[in-house]
Chains A and B, each alone.
Chain A
Amino acid sequence: MRALPALTGFALLAAMAAPAALGQVTPVSPESPNAEGIKSSYLFVSIFVVAIFLLVEGLLIAFIVRYRRQRRQRFEDGAQIHGATNLELAWTAFPVVVLFLVAAFVFVELPDITDAPAAGPAGDDGIEIRVIGRQFYWQFEYPNGAISIDTMRAPAGVPVHLEVTAPESDVIHSWWIPALGGKIDTIPGVVNDTWFEAENPGLYRGQCAELCGLEHARMLGAVEVLPAPDFAAWVEERRAGQPAGSTDLGGELWAGVCAKCHGLAGEGGIAKALAGSALLADPQAVETIVRNGRVTRRGTMPAVGSGWTAEQIDALTAYLRESPPGGQ
């Protein structure tokens, strides 16, 4: 029985620490040097965090066990110690040293995190892609004028510079693909930048990280990293198809811009059902409503397509014509 408080203490410490063995205790596996720099900073900080955690909780449990009342009187005095200057100095200096080390490590890592390499491992120059956050989709604009929605395509082994912004009429979003680095806000009227250089082809997912309205939770984003030649082919094909009303882009626009509120098959969601609506077959009406939005008694449809190019409108209407959501 005398060991009971100690056992309880250790059991609790174990109960608090045990999930650490099962759960995700570090950021997701990095696929880009900036995400790697962040993860190594995280691990470095963790050394001190775990050490201080064990020190404080250990002392707490030790004192609870050692100095519990046992057979003493209820109100018998403990040792009447008012303080100790040397101890105060020690535990003021100790955190200063720890924090100095943490800050120093961050400074050492910082250039790897913030500065994109001038060229990829194979000597490829970087490319620049514009990321535009909008309620509730991501629009990516490539150097040749190609556009994609919600899924960015990027070449592997090439530094990809991102210019990140939002239209002045929109709200703040935050661009974040965990495996490819930290997040950066897309702020109306502000242009931010970030970068990544993905080593391996693959699909890396993320989502908007700043509350941006009703469908914030559905504002998913992804980067599909392709081998460099495949990327070059894709971006050319997308560009070439756009003037003719690319249905690839049209499909992305429907799924990314319209479907999050109206449902993928037009079955309705937070906004009304569109399946079978005559409006979808009328390109003029579609253009008017996506460019200007609409305020009704039931709610507001934002001007999701304000600032779209004619090619984007054509892509959407072409898609709606060829594969109307919910069938005919």
Chain B
Amino acid sequence: MASRAEATPTWHDGRIASWLVTTDHKRIGILYIGTSVVFLVLAGLMGLAIRLQLAQANADVLSPERYNELVTIHGTSMVFLVGVPILAGFGNFLVPLMIGARDVAFPRLNALSYWLFLFGGLVLMGSFFASGGAAQAGWTSYPPLSEQTPGNGQDLWILSLHILTASSIAGAINFLVTIHNLRTPGMTWTRMPLFVWSIYVFAWLLMAVLPVLSAGITMILLDRGLEIGPWDVQTDFFNPQDGGSALLYQHAFWFFGHPEVYVIVLPAFGIISEVLPVFARKPVFGYKAIAFSTVAIGFFSMLVWAHHMFTVGLPYSLQTYFMIASMIIAVPTGMKIFNWLATLWRGNLAFDTPMLYAIGFLSLFVIGGLTGIYLAAFPIDWQVHDTYFVVAHFHYTLLGGVVFAIFAGLFYWWPKMFGRKLDERLGKWQFWILFIGFNVTFMPQHFLGLDGMPRRIYTYSREDWETWNLTSTVGSWIMAVAFLLFVWNVLKSRKGPRVGNDPWHADTLEWYTTSPPPPHNFDEVPYVTSARPLYDLRRRLREKEGARAL
């Protein structure tokens, strides 16, 4: 060992340099989460600007170009720079600790994943300064529109997504190999924490669907024209003027795009499945049902893509198939929700901030799930498709759902990551403000959509849409206050009280080691005999003490 230590140059130990060269999954996880939070703030500011423009009829806060850029980059970053990577960050930090491993299988590949993610994100944000500004065709970037916008914004959007895809594929391989090979003795598949199950399916989904996105956006790139040295490439995949199909891309995009939603939602489900039992002082209800439903959701998510395309004029037989397939996903999702509810049943509930967020998640995700039934029933979708009803629907699943789960996870694992708790009082204030602000922002958007307001319009002249739009904008400011409180809480936590290994008396292996864990994670790992190794340990300890007392 001594010779290896000497082989490491001393500058690697610097306060900043040590983060730049790190291959420690915990540090990489924290880098992922920190970077994603920065992108969350940037994309959130874009959302605020969008709401400002829409607060009143005929407003001119933003020009149409600027508005379309912000809509596109807000959506793209929330999915690719916030949703996926922040959960990959949790996965990075937690998976090795939860399965009792020393690190991920390929630590250097892991570092590469992170740096590619950062680089891809910088390309996307930097595209605002490209000639012609950033991409303007929405996060879906449908051709022919995305092929007709001049300037380089769209090309940089494609480049950025390619980089992020490479990052995600490398990360996914890493997770899969790690989960297959590095589980500690005794940790069978059915003793694995449910969060690890969710990351397992997350990784398979990324591997399965990202290549299809890559193909689709490469075709857009080639259609837009590409000059490489002496070669001038110009294809017509999606250009109907020369025999291409304007519709083909949508199939490729949504074959990726719908599973991508579950890529983001499943690890959020995983967080909830970890948090609820700990604060209910119970085992999770129906462990196997929840694990199975995770796999089922992942599988079915690849069979439903054209429910995003009910208005393109597909044959009714196909629309029927996609309706039924989409509805089938509601069954495993319903299983999860009922199992979570049953986890609370006869518990000893403590409402610390992680629990508040987990319950907030449950109450809001249900709404997002239920409005999904309207969207799956295709004739109803013909009315509400591409309206604010859809915007409200997916914000209930992704913001009310995923972001609430992420806050549950941050408040829950913060002590493990940094050895200090976030302030509980501030956290509870933040929760209530965010909960109220969220509903004020997005509930009215259902009404606007039903009343005929399409999404992605930079302005409107109907004055009867003003009340709910203004309400929604005010709600976005309330949410901004909640996010500021979180930033304050993070700054404050640097001086917060230290905590021990296991402040929540939790069940999974990451709480067995110190907070924060040492670079090698564990000095020793107990043999795992159930899905709740720490609960077992505490029980054995109690029994021993009981025996001694006798």
Asked if A pairs with B, the answer is yes
Q: Which of B65, B312, B348, B448 has the most CB of A within 10 A?
A: B348
Note all chain A residues with C-beta closer than 8 A to B338: 87, 91
Partner of A192, one of B313, B331, B386, B387: B313
* Interface residue? B337 (CB, 8 A): yes
Known: A114-B316, A172-B246. Contact between A102 and B64, CB under 8 A? no
Provide the residues of chain A in CB contact with B311, threshold 8 Å. 174, 182-185, 209-210
Shortest C-beta distance, B64 to chain A (Å), equals 4
Contacts of B423 in A (CB 8 A): none
Q: Which of A67, A110, A181 has most chain B Cβ within 10 Å?
A: A67
Q: Are A110 and B350 in contact, with the CB atoms below 8 A?
A: no
Tell whether, in the assembled complex, residue A49 and residue B373 are in contact, meaning their CB atoms are under 8 Å apart. yes
- Would A83 and B289 be within 8 Å (CB), given that A25-B447, A45-B374, A217-B458 are in contact? yes
Contacts of B247 in A (CB 8 A): 187, 190
Tell whether B529 is near chain A: CB-to-CB under 8 Å: no
Complex CA distance for A315 and B418, rounded to whole angstroms: 73
B334: CB under 8 A from chain A? Answer: yes
Report A101-122 CB contacts with B as 1/0, cut-off 8 Å. Answer: 0110011011001100000000
Which residues in B have their C-beta under 8 angstroms from that of A209? 311, 385-387, 454
**Most chain B C-beta atoms within 10 Å of own C-beta, residue among A37, A45, A76, A171:** A171
Assembled-state Cα–Cα distance A87/B313 (Å): 41
CB distance from B520 to the nearest CB of A (A): 29
Chain B residues with Cβ below 8 Å from A170 are 144
Number of A-B contacts (CB under 8 A): 275
Residues of A within 8 A of B386 (CB): 174, 183, 209-210
Binary per-residue interface labels of chain A (302-321) against chain B in the complex, 1 for a CB within 8 Å, 0 otherwise: 00000000000000000000
CA distance A217 to B447 in the complex (A): 19
The segment from B94-102, B192-200, B227-235, B359-367 that touches chain A is B359-367
Residue in chain B with minimal CB distance to A112: B379
Q: Is the CB of A42 within 8 A of B383?
A: yes
Indicate whether B380 reaches chain A with its CB closer than 8 angstroms: yes
Main secondary structure of the interface of B (DSSP, over half): helix
B495 touches A (CB below 8 Å): no
Q: Which residues of A contact B289 (CB under 8 A)?
A: 83, 88
Contacts of B65 in A (CB 8 A): 214, 270
Tell whether B63 is near chain A: CB-to-CB under 8 Å: yes
The reply to whether A41 and B447 contact each other, CB–CB distance below 8 Å, is no
Using A41-B379, A99-B331 as known contacts, say yes or no to A81 and B341 having CB atoms under 8 A apart.
no
Report the nearest A residue to B351, measured CB to CB.
A68
What's the Cα separation between A208 and B311 when bound, in Å? 12
Chain A residues with CB under 8 Å of B436's CB are 15
B286 interfacial by beta-carbon distance below 8 Å: yes
A106 touches B373 (CB 8 A): no
Contact B344 A88 (CB under 8 A): no
Instruction: Please state if B286 and A214 are interface contacts (CB–CB under 8 Å).
Output: no
Closest to B67 in A: A217
Task: Give the contacts of B323-375 with A (CB-CB under 8 A).
Answer: 323-324, 327-328, 330-331, 334-335, 337-339, 341-342, 344-351, 359, 362-363, 366-367, 370-371, 373-374
Interface residues of A (CB under 8 A from B): 12, 15-16, 19, 23-28, 35, 37-38, 41-42, 45, 48-49, 52-53, 56-57, 59-60, 63-64, 67-69, 72-84, 87-88, 91-92, 94-96, 99, 102-103, 106-107, 109-110, 113-114, 168-172, 174, 176, 178, 181-185, 187-190, 192-193, 205-218, 270, 299-300
**Can you identify 22 A-B contacts, CB atoms within 8 angstroms?**
A19-B444, A23-B444, A27-B384, A42-B374, A59-B341, A68-B349, A83-B287, A84-B285, A91-B338, A94-B334, A110-B379, A114-B379, A168-B241, A169-B241, A174-B311, A188-B240, A189-B246, A192-B312, A211-B68, A214-B68, A216-B458, A299-B150
